[in-house]
Structure 1
Amino acid sequence: MIIIDLTSYRCPLPLVKTKMALKQLKSGEKITIQLSDPGSKLDVPRFLKKVGFCHKVLQHEESILTLEITK
């Protein structure tokens, strides 16, 4: 599984980098992303839901959201 730490980036870069990572995946593969930007913690899950990617929250601390995404 690929883990991508996007905690050092601010909106809109985490969403852009997530989209780029998803294009690299084959069907059924998973990635884990970590987000800390408040806007990205809202935008990335909304995008995933909108395009139909299966995702689940692995951890949601006060400052970091960790998502597992399946293509």
Structure 2
Amino acid sequence: MIIIDLTSYRCPLPLVKVKMALKQLSDGDSVSVLLSDPGSRQDVPRYLKKIGVSHFITEDSNSVLSLTVTK
């Protein structure tokens, strides 16, 4: 599985990078996304839900939110 570490980026760049990654995935492929920015921790899951992309939280700590996203 591909891991995209976006913990060093601030909103809105993580959301843009997630959108770009989704375009490169084939249907059924999964990617792990790591986020730390408070805005991105809200925006990315909200966006994924809005477009109907399957995702679940694998870790939610004070320092990082880890999502597994399946196209």
CA distance in 1, matches of 2:57, 2:10: 20
Task: Specify the alignment match of 1:70 in structure 2.
Answer: 70
What RMSD over aligned residues (CA atoms) do the two structures have, in Å?
0.3
Q: Gaps spanning 5+ residues in structure 2: where?
A: none
Q: Gaps spanning 5+ residues in structure 1: where?
A: none
Secondary structure in structure 1 of the residue aligned to 2:7: coil
User: Equivalences for 1:28-39 in 2 at 5 Å?
Assistant: 28-39=28-39
Matching of residue 47 in structure 1 with residue 50 in structure 2: no
What is the TM-score when the length of structure 1 is the normalising length? 0.99
What is the TM-score when the length of structure 2 is the normalising length? 0.99
Query: Across the two proteins, how many residue pairs are aligned to each other?
Result: 71
- What stretches of structure 1 move > 6 A for 4+ residues in a row? none
CA distance in 2, matches of 1:48, 1:16: 12
